[in-house]
Amino acid sequence: MDGQGATADPQLQHFIEIESQKQRFQQLVHQMTEVCWEKCMDKPGPKLDSRTEVCFVNCVERFIDTSQFILNRLEQTQRSRGSFSETMAE
């Protein structure tokens, strides 16, 4: 092999990254919908009562906050591991 096969087309990499982000977002929305539906929906009807609506809003906000917190912690962990392994390599 000449080593060029290892470097993919930047446009293709960008497209794959965008599609992966879309997929993760769709999975997150599906998971959030499932969690909040189970938590807030007592009896399905033609309209949401105000208590159910408030429950959904709070559930979605907490789900987003929690997801963002987890992502931030993962990024911090990866950064600290990266700097640790860079230090070990020196």
pLDDT in tens, 41-62: 988 888 889 999 999 999 999 9
pLDDT in tens, 5-21: 456 788 998 899 889 98
What distance in Å separates the CA atoms of residue 37 and residue 48, rounded to the nearest whole number? 12
Average pLDDT, the chain: 83
Got the DSSP string for 19-82? HHHHHHHHHHHHHHHHHHHHHH-SS--SS--HHHHHHHHHHHHHHHHHHHHHHHHHHHHHHHHH
Q: Show me where the domains of the chain are located.
A: 10-88
pLDDT band at 23 (very low <50, low <70, confident <90, very high): very high
**Could you tell me the CA-to-CA distances from 88 to 37, 79, 81, 82, 83 in Å, in that order?**
48, 14, 10, 10, 9
- Taking the domain 10-88, which CATH number applies? 1.10.287.810
pLDDT band at 84 (very low <50, low <70, confident <90, very high): low
Question: pTM, whole model, 2 decimals?
Answer: 0.60
